[in-house]
Amino acid sequence: MQFLQSLTSCHLKISDNKGLPPLIQLLSSPDPDVKKNSLEIIFNLVQDYQSRVAVHELGGIPPLLELLKSDFPVIQHLVLRILQNVTIDEDSRNTFREEQGFEKLMDILSNIEFSDLHAEALQVVANCLSDSESLHLIQEDGGLTKLMEFILNPSTPEIQSSAVKCITRVAQSSENRGLLHKQNIEKVLVELLSVCDVSVQTSTCQAVFAMSFHHASKDSLRDMGAIPAVVQLLNDESLILREAATQALCSLTDSNTLNARAVYEAGGHELLVQQLSGSSPRMVANSVATLANMAEQEVIRCSILSHGTVQALAELLKSTNTQVLVNTTHCLAELTCDTEARAQLHRAGGLQPLVNLLHTHHRDLLHNACMVVSVCASDRTISVEMCKFGALEILQEINKSVNRRSSFSELAMISLLNSNLSVKYSLTGFLTSTDNISEGFYDAGKACAGQRILTLEELSEQPVNQHRPVIFINTATSAEKKEEDDRQVEEAQPEPLTKKKMMDDVSLQLLAKKAKESILQLNDEQEQYAALARLVSSAMGGAVKMEKLHEFPWVLHISKLKFKFQSNVVPLGFIRKGIYCHRALLFKCLADCIGLSCTLVRGEYNRAWNEVILFDENPSRNRNWSQPCRYIVDLMHLPGSLLKAKSPAAELYQTI
């Protein structure tokens, strides 16, 4: 460490004292030792970006190229090592090319007497091939053919690896990939994958990655056996090699089902899952992306899930690397369409870190996280859990933002609400005819935007208060029960509302049974709605004249129930004196139970109503022609009456 600090200090002193210009001038000295010593100092200096640029600006490239003709190999090696650093800079590469540096390198590469310089010369060539002008030069001067000779007949693995790196640089443009494909480069690369040298295998994987952007090459590589060869490299101890192999597989399987199948058949999915616990974020990101590409096929997806993939991905949701997170959420979006995968994610504790990712401002990551939430929300238990972690509140904030809102965030919000109707009704005050409420539904009242809606368990644990009760629904039990009259239910021994009692709302179950037996046998749809309305009204205290509504003792009745149960949560079936909101909820519940279609709409001041659609005949046209018409069902004053939507009677029912 002291040596490095001393070296850095020397660099700064030389730079501060403008030592680089005289060093460049000394490159023209007749004394070979002066040249060598100057080159060694310059080599140390060009490790720093500013010095690399300064060498070019001070005209250092021409004298460096001139020294390639030196009779002393040590000087030639130093020049090439300096050029490897200097040609990283684009302006330096331009000057290098203008000074015929590329031609000078090709002269060295063409001379067998300079074989000891070939590896370093090829590394400089690899840098230069980043420019399109240099690419044209290598094609015109037969350089590409020369590179292929170094690949096929190398004197050392280092030279072979450097030549492959040059091919990778050439393959950066689509035009050159087509040229390489015509020269059957894929066959050469497949052969190189079996060379027992890590540097050659690593360079070859990088070349496979580059060539896989050419559609025909992607197929050729598969047909020639590249995929099993690359998969086997995932067993290697070299982290750099495994990183390059996963990168190649990621590109090979992108939008290519046959290649994904080939990776699967080679056992690649198992080895890729093993890489997920690796220390290289890039390797992990590549592995996850490849698994996501493969998971689009159901057979492969099932096999991927059998190797503990979801548990590993759940851990990766805590990563601090953005690309790992982007790829992980993408993979989970593919995998969690499977029911068991969602359950595994839940058990692995992945839901909370998933919800936390909704806070991100990275667009791709946010989109992917929203997609996973949308898919997982199809499971009601998981949806409730995500809501518990604040997913809805975060999504509400996102959807208010012009910059962060998207179709993905809107879909995630809709999916959560549709699988958690209790929350949907609290937030939106509306349930559609396809929102079928059933056991576990509860009405916690209207919620403010951004307010977290407590779960039923959390609400049931709160001490009794003066707020509106939470109305709980359960119609799950199907066992035959003896009918109890209203008095028995009303005068039941008071006891706290336990989970068992929540699951045993006998009165509601009997009402559902009665509705099925009496309503469904009616042939006329309008009469079915009317009969159901009368049943609901009868169960909730009967008809109440509008002018007598203030005398209806529903408030006292609800308060007594809360006191009896020692809870703010009241089962719907126990309510015997119900107002609009209770009756509308019961109507929706029973209608859903027997298959009748209706909505549930929350109004102000304990108002709620149900809308149904019936087909009316149009007397002005053919008698057989009808059109749909919306009605509000009167459950309070004239039970069974259907009030045409937006009519004065309907508006009075909704607002009085």
CA 299, 304, 306, 309 torsion-angle sign: negative
> For residue range 515-548, what is the model confidence (pLDDT) as tens digits?
999 998 898 999 999 999 999 999 999 999 988 9
Tokens of 437: 């409420």
> For residue range 30-73, what is the model confidence (pLDDT) as tens digits?
998 998 999 999 999 988 888 888 888 888 889 998 988 888 98
Q: CA angle 403-405-407, nearest 5°?
A: 135
**Average confidence (pLDDT) over 605-610:** 92
CA distance 439 to 589: 9
CA distance 425 to 453: 11
- Residues forming a β-bridge with 430: 601
**Is residue 65 within 8 Å of 73, Cβ to Cβ?**
no
Spatial CA neighbour of 531 closest among 551, 511, 505: 511
State yes or no: pLDDT of 484 exceeds 50.
no
What pLDDT is attached to residue 234? 97
What pLDDT is attached to residue 121? 85
> For residue range 285-296, what is the model confidence (pLDDT) as tens digits?
999 999 999 999
State yes or no: pLDDT of 499 exceeds 80.
no
Lay out the sheet containing 626-633: strands in order across: 611-617, 626-633, 642-644
| pLDDT classification of 483: cutoffs 50, 70, 90 | very low
- At 651, the amino acid letter reads E
**Is residue 80 within 8 Å of 124, Cβ to Cβ?**
yes
DSSP structural state of residue 577: S
* Helix (H/G/I), strand (E/B), else coil: 616: strand
What pLDDT is attached to residue 20? 86
**Average confidence (pLDDT) over 492-498:** 47
State yes or no: pLDDT of 7 exceeds 60.
no
Helix (H) / strand (E) element for 445: namely none
- What's the mean pLDDT when you consider all of the chain? 87
Q: Which residues contact 561 (CB under 8 A, 6 or more apart)?
A: 469, 570, 574, 575
- Residues forming a β-bridge with 442: 472
What pLDDT is attached to residue 491? 44
State yes or no: pLDDT of 649 exceeds 90.
no
| pLDDT classification of 622: cutoffs 50, 70, 90 | low
Residues of the chain with pLDDT > 70: what percent? 89
What pLDDT is attached to residue 141? 65
State yes or no: pLDDT of 485 exceeds 60.
no
Spatial CA neighbour of 417 closest among 450, 449, 387: 387
Tokens of 399: 């959807």
* Helix (H/G/I), strand (E/B), else coil: 569: strand
CA distance 86 to 78: 12
> For residue range 391-434, what is the model confidence (pLDDT) as tens digits?
999 999 999 999 999 999 999 999 999 999 999 999 999 999 99
**Average confidence (pLDDT) over 102-116:** 83
Query: When comparing pLDDT for 218 and 496, which is higher?
Result: 218
> For residue range 213-234, what is the model confidence (pLDDT) as tens digits?
999 999 999 999 999 999 999 9
**Average confidence (pLDDT) over 142-159:** 78
State yes or no: pLDDT of 644 exceeds 80.
yes
State yes or no: pLDDT of 85 exceeds 60.
yes
* Helix (H/G/I), strand (E/B), else coil: 156: coil
What pLDDT is attached to residue 139? 67
**Average confidence (pLDDT) over 314-340:** 97
Out of 137-146, 324-333, 367-376, 608-617, pick the least confident: 137-146
